[in-house]
Amino acid sequence: MHYKLWAFGSNDRGQLGIPHDPNDISTHDKVFKPREVHCLHEEIKSISGGAKHTLILTDEGSVLGAGDNTDGQLGSYRHARLRYHCSLNEELPQMVPQFEYMYTGIQFCAAAWTSTAYVANRKKTADIFTEGTCLWGELARGRSKDTYPHPAYCASGGSGKIMTTLEGNVVSFAAGTYHYVAIMDNGDVYGWGKARNHQLGDQYDDPSPKVHTTPTKIINHPSKWKKVVCGMDFTLLLGDTGADEKYILGGHKHGLNPLRLDITRWKDICATWNAIFVLFEDGSLVARGKNKDWELVPPNLPRITQIAASPGHVVASTSSGEVITWGFAEDGQCGPITQIQLPVENGRFDGHFNTITGIPGHIIRVEAVPGRSFVLTEIDEPSNKKTVGESSNAIDLFAELQSEIEEEKDTILSRIN
């Protein structure tokens, strides 16, 4: 078996990892039909992304990045100078048009709008470092506004400077639009970035806009939290999978706080900018939050097995092996819209969903990031055994190539003589 990654959605800065082909306009700004992304050498653990940059974290701890780098959100690439054939003094690439290996030894990575944060767990501590541009302290550098394309870093001994070291190991890590939250193995919760809407806690006396510019313990709670989910201006903390253990920070504007929803027997939970989606063990889906832009849970949904959400759309796999999408669709993140019989008004699937076709193989994972979708599939490897006819053809082709090589060799020798 081997894996294939498929992508569709916004690609104006190469954030799908699909290079722009001058002879194929469908690879440019908006990719509506799923296309294969040629980047996989390891199994994928997660896919995250900001406004226009995308990160793949593999099970082996490698990070691949693609897309916009005008804010340094994909780093300096000094560690990749052999691939880019550049010197240490060369300017940063403004765009990475296809996925390139960036770091190793990483356990978690997440992306806010124009920044990226990484976690490397040690024996009893966790190292956290960031890259990109911040408006609300997302870089955790002690300043609310900053640009810091981080130098090369490799957990196995790179030359980069460690940003912050926290006691304990990180067990869950997530980003909102302008904030990051980490849960430690002892249940402590740290956060940094934008805090004015109480997404990093309510322990404030100062009525002015709130920012945490360094990782700060944001909650002391008797529960031992295991998972964190972030929206634009809220943070949801969760206990064991399936248990009705939850605590929400922020989210007052759209009726999320308090979260009046029994989540017992939940299987997975994700969030858009202003809503929370709960997938239950029986395949049913429930959502809470802003319901004005598009209906959060379309009617007649099939049984769902996996779900992922970006700020403005949802991607799910079904028990029948299909991929479905709904929400904002103007950049292609919900797939082709010409095949839909129902109306797609104002560039969104509202009150119905789209079924994505043309993705071969067994669905392993679905992922959604701002303006784009990814689907990982497993496909049977072609047999290495050749039929007699295939073997004969291969021999003939080899003989033909060998003849061409000999002719080219004679030509070169004659020129030398």
What tens digit of pLDDT does each residue of 247-261 get? 999 988 888 988 999
Q: How far apart are CA 333 and CA 369, in angstroms?
A: 9
What pLDDT was estimated at residue 220?
A: 66
Label residue 145 by pLDDT band (50, 70, 90).
Answer: confident
**Residue 182: band (very low, low, confident or very high) from pLDDT cuts 50, 70, 90:** very high
Q: What is the CATH number of the domain that holds 196?
A: 2.130.10.30
Cα 47-50-51 angle, rounded to 5 deg:
135
Number of Cβ within a 10 Å radius of residue 196: 17
In a domain, 414, yes or no: no
Q: What is the pLDDT of residue 240?
A: 94
Task: Decide if 408 is inside a domain.
Answer: no
Identify the residue whose tokens are 């944001």: 218
Q: What pLDDT is attached to residue 292? A: 85
| Tokens 């226009």 belong to residue | 52
pTM exceeding 0.95:
no
Q: How many domains does the chain have?
A: 1
pLDDT at 14: 94
Does residue 412 sit within a domain? no
Q: Is the pLDDT of residue 340 over 70?
A: no
Which stretch of DSSP H or E encloses residue 415? helix 388-416
Residue 169's pLDDT is: 97
For tokens 């990031």, the residue is: 369
Residue 280 in tokens: 């239950």
Q: Which of 234, 191, 194 is nearest to 214 (CA)?
A: 191
User: What DSSP string runs through 79-91?
Assistant: GGHHHHT--TTSP
Asked whether residue 409 is domain-assigned, the answer is no
Give residue 210's pLDDT.
84
Cα four-point dihedral sign 203, 204, 209, 214: negative
- Tokens at 49, concatenated: 């992304």
- Judged against a pLDDT cut of 70, whether residue 236 lies above it is answered with yes
Per-residue pLDDT tens over the stretch 15-62: 999 988 776 666 668 999 999 998 776 789 999 999 999 999 999 999
- pLDDT confidence of residue 314: 98
Residue 401 lies in a domain: no
Residue 386 scores a pLDDT above 60: no
Assigned domain for 30 exists = yes
Give the integer Cα–Cα distance in Å for 177 and 10: 18
User: Domain residues for 130?
Assistant: 2-392
Q: Is the pLDDT of residue 346 over 70?
A: no
Question: Does residue 350 sit within a domain?
Answer: yes
Please tell me which residue, 292 or 14, carries the higher pLDDT value: 14
C-alpha 36/C-alpha 50 separation (Å) is 21
Per the domain annotation, does 397 fall within a domain?
A: no
The overall average pLDDT reported for the chain is 82
Q: What pLDDT band is residue 339 in, cutting at 50, 70 and 90?
A: low
| Weakest mean pLDDT among 253-262, 270-279, 313-322 | 253-262
